[in-house]
Amino acid sequence: MVNKIDLLPHLDVDMDLFRTNLQRVNPLAQVLLVSAKTGEGVDAWTDWVLGS
């Protein structure tokens, strides 16, 4: 899970590179982008936690 995505515009983070490297390490990893500030991704995270 990547949280605090509302901060991404202010950080030197290459999300494409992050996903590429994660895929190399764990091809089955699911990426959830979550921001509690905006609510983006919270429903997907909740579903993931509850196993839905």
User: What mean pLDDT do residues 23-42 have?
Assistant: 93
Separation of CA 20 from chain center? 13
How far is 4 from 38, CA to CA, in rounded Å?
Answer: 10
User: What mean pLDDT do residues 12-39 have?
Assistant: 93
* Residue 2 pLDDT grade (very low, low, confident, very high; cuts 50, 70, 90): confident
Is residue 1 predicted with pLDDT exceeding 80? no
**pTM attached to this predicted model:** 0.70
How far is 23 from 51, CA to CA, in rounded Å?
Answer: 22
